[in-house]
Structure 1
Amino acid sequence: MRIVIAGGHGQIALLLERLLSARGDEVAGIIRDRSQGDDLREAGAEPVLLDLESASVEEVAAHLQGADAAVFAAGAGPGSGTARKDTVDKGAAILFADAAARAGVRRFVVVSAMAADPDHPGDEVFDVYLRAKGAADAYVRRLDALDWTILRPGRLTDEPGTGLVRLEAHTGRGSIPRADVAAVLADLIETSATAGLTLDLVSGSTPVSVAVKSVAGN
């Protein structure tokens, strides 16, 4: 498979790129900083220099041509203000989805956030973030041209992955190592039976492959 990842230098994306390239997939990661290219190459991915905050749908679609799947793993980051929650977490996600549809890439996986909701109340930066993520998720759900799956991890940690997760429509709050998020994403990409599902993800007791097959069979 050829897989294009938006936010290619993010922590989860780099872990995912290693997993995908190790299993023989062709991986490209979209980055906005040329200096990050070596990190992607080391992970086995082709760096694609493109700013999703200023690119057009046509420009993004050109990089998605011929891909079998697309993953939106970009984010403004915890140190960013409210404006970039709108331009990255919402705007770039919508742009990437539109570009995937235009390029004919049906399989589309989104890394969202637990409790993302376009109507989430509050004025703090995290509230704005959850609204932005929720609005982007709602937009993706309306695109019939995409076989989308939305993954909503709990609190992310840098602990080693355990390979044991809880993956359900609603899990309740919890934490999850980034490595386990990447492992679930790798399985979701090639499990098209999860299309149309929005899934919460936290650490649990079920092996990743079993958890993904379980939700795909429901």
Structure 2
Amino acid sequence: MRIVIAGGHGQIALRLERLLAARGDSAAGLIRDPAQADDLRAAGAEPVVLDLESAGVEEVAAALAGADAAVFAAGAGAGSGAERKQTVDRGAAVLFADAAERAGVRRHLVVSSMGADADASGSDPVFAAYLRAKGAADDDIRSRTGLDWTVLRPGALTNDAGSGLVRLSPTTGRGAVPRDDVAAVLAELLHTPATAGLTLELVSGNDPVPAAVRAAAGTS
């Protein structure tokens, strides 16, 4: 299975690339900075230098050609302002979905955020802009009939070692989850097509990742 990952140098993406390589899948990660290429190679992934904030849909579709699945794991990142939330968390996500449709890559996973909502507000204007951007992108992707999409909305992300135990459902309630476990869930979702059409929240819990994904898919 060949998977193309947008935001290929992100903390979740690198973890996912290692998992995919370990099980024999082929991963390619889209990166803006050529200096990040060695990190992707070390994770077992093919680096593809491509800036989703400036690329056109045909260029991104070319990078997706021949893939079995696409994962949008990009983000503007901490310290970025409200404007980049729109250009990356919304604009790049929509562009990547457009390109996946153009390239005929139906399986499409999106790493969103718990609380994502196109109408979000709050006392922190930048975080509210982030949630609005993620929510608008999710709404766009969930409206498409040309993609077998799954939207994953993790809770607060941590760098703790993954436990392999999670709670995964349309509504989990607030909570935290290690990035290791987010990557493990993504890897499992890629091989669980019955989760297409679902928006799932993810926090730490008591269910082993494979069982949690099977339950969410209704195949347990």
Which bin holds the TM-score, normalised by the shorter protein?
Answer: over 0.9
Q: Which residue of 2 aligns with 1:81?
A: 81
Q: Which residue of 2 aligns with 1:211?
A: 212
Please list the CA deviations of residues 94-140 of structure 1 after superposition, one character each: whole Å capped at 9, or x if unmatched: 00000000100000000000010001124610000000000000000
SS at match of 1:78: coil
Q: For residues 174-213 of structure 1, what are the structure 2 equivalents within 5 Å?
A: 174-213=175-214
SS at match of 2:52: coil
Q: Which residue of 2 aligns with 1:90?
A: 90
Please list the CA deviations of residues 27-79 of structure 1 after superposition, one character each: whole Å capped at 9, or x if unmatched: 00000000000000000000000000000000000010100000000000011
SS at match of 2:173: coil
Root mean square deviation of aligned Cα:
0.7
Say whether 1:36 aligns with 2:36.
Answer: yes
SS at match of 2:202: strand
- Separation in structure 1 between the aligned mates of residue 120 and residue 134 of structure 2, nearest angstrom: 10
Q: Which residue of 2 aligns with 1:24?
A: 24
Q: State the Cα distance separating 1:88 from its structure 2 match.
A: 0.2
SS at match of 1:109: strand
Partner letter of residue 20 of structure 2? Answer: L
- Separation in structure 2 between the aligned mates of residue 43 and residue 203 of structure 1, nearest angstrom: 25
Partner letter of residue 155 of structure 1? Answer: A
Consecutive unaligned residues of structure 2, counting only runs of 5 or more, are none
- Separation in structure 1 between the aligned mates of residue 98 and residue 190 of structure 2, nearest angstrom: 18
Q: Which residue of 2 aligns with 1:54?
A: 54
Normalising by structure 1, report the TM-score: 0.99
Consecutive unaligned residues of structure 1, counting only runs of 5 or more, are none
- Separation in structure 2 between the aligned mates of residue 32 and residue 78 of structure 1, nearest angstrom: 17
After the TM superposition, which of the residue ranges 119-128 and 70-79 deviates more from structure 2? 119-128
Q: State the Cα distance separating 1:159 from its structure 2 match.
A: 0.3
Q: State the Cα distance separating 1:25 from its structure 2 match.
A: 0.4
Partner letter of residue 11 of structure 2? Answer: Q
SS at match of 1:96: helix
Q: For residues 25-174 of structure 1, what are the structure 2 equivalents within 5 Å?
A: 25-122=25-122, 124-174=125-175
- Separation in structure 2 between the aligned mates of residue 133 and residue 155 of structure 1, nearest angstrom: 15
Q: State the Cα distance separating 1:190 from its structure 2 match.
A: 1.1
- Separation in structure 2 between the aligned mates of residue 79 and residue 45 of structure 1, nearest angstrom: 27
- Separation in structure 1 between the aligned mates of residue 47 and residue 21 of structure 2, nearest angstrom: 13
Give identity over the alignment, percent: 72
SS at match of 2:149: strand
- Separation in structure 1 between the aligned mates of residue 206 and residue 25 of structure 2, nearest angstrom: 28
- Separation in structure 1 between the aligned mates of residue 120 and residue 176 of structure 2, nearest angstrom: 21
- Separation in structure 2 between the aligned mates of residue 78 and residue 32 of structure 1, nearest angstrom: 17
- Separation in structure 1 between the aligned mates of residue 185 and residue 77 of structure 2, nearest angstrom: 21
SS at match of 1:48: strand
- Separation in structure 2 between the aligned mates of residue 168 and residue 42 of structure 1, nearest angstrom: 33
SS at match of 2:128: helix
SS at match of 1:24: coil
